[in-house]
Copies of this chain bind each other. A is one copy, B any other.
Amino acid sequence: MTHFSAGELSDKSRVEAFSDGVFAIALTLLVLEIHVPRLAAPVTCGALLLALAQLWPSLLAMAASFFVVLSMWYTHHDLMHWVRGVDKCFLFANGFLLLIVSFVPFPTAVLSEYLNTPARAGAVALYCGTFFFVAVAHLLLLRSIIANRRLLHTDVPAERVATVQRAYLFGPLAYLLLLTLSFRRPWFALILTFAMWILWLALDYGSRARHPRTNPG
């Protein structure tokens, strides 16, 4: 309504809308990497069903990337609830996060193409490596909030911020380990990555159940 925010803080609603746009488009572009199978003659129903069934690495990669980008959107959603406004540092950390989010369809496509080939280790390494940068981007975004306390709503409890920061420090380390593992045991690294995401969801869900009113999400 007014074009002056408190101090030099910008208002956050356009940042939210813009980020939502990038998250939504990145999610929806994932399907473009699933290619319609081109059958050699003779074209039969059985051949089509077989070709569709052989797309399972694409479907698995699409579904996994979809849910992890969706989780990132929830996390972003929560973080934006903490802040009263945004400064330039926040905007750049957010821009870096969006760059990585918009990049996710590429490693997903590489994983789809090479998961079922001898080059799977390289594809899994690229996938885990991308999420290493995702974790770093989240850490930078959180740091940009903590660095300028005026960005934070006053009723966000300090211990909640500290808990989240500890959780975010763990992310880059975990992905580095998974990246190293992926060269030796690609399947195991990939399954561990998926397991970690499911575990994080469960832990996050549990922590919210215990602190229903201190959770600003």
Contact = CB atoms under 8 A, between A and B. Distances in A.
Interface residues of A, number: 79
A176 interface: no
Interface string A31-58: 1111011010011111111001000000
Given A23-B18, A52-B122, A119-B39, A70 B98 contact: yes
A53 to B, nearest CB: 10
Give the dominant DSSP class at A's interface: helix
B29 A32 contact: yes
Given A36-B110, A44-B118, A45-B120, 4 more contacts: A10-B81, A22-B27, A27-B98, A49-B122
19 contacts: A3-B216, A8-B208, A8-B212, A10-B217, A21-B21, A22-B24, A25-B28, A26-B28, A27-B98, A43-B114, A43-B118, A48-B122, A48-B123, A49-B122, A52-B110, A63-B99, A66-B99, A74-B91, A88-B205
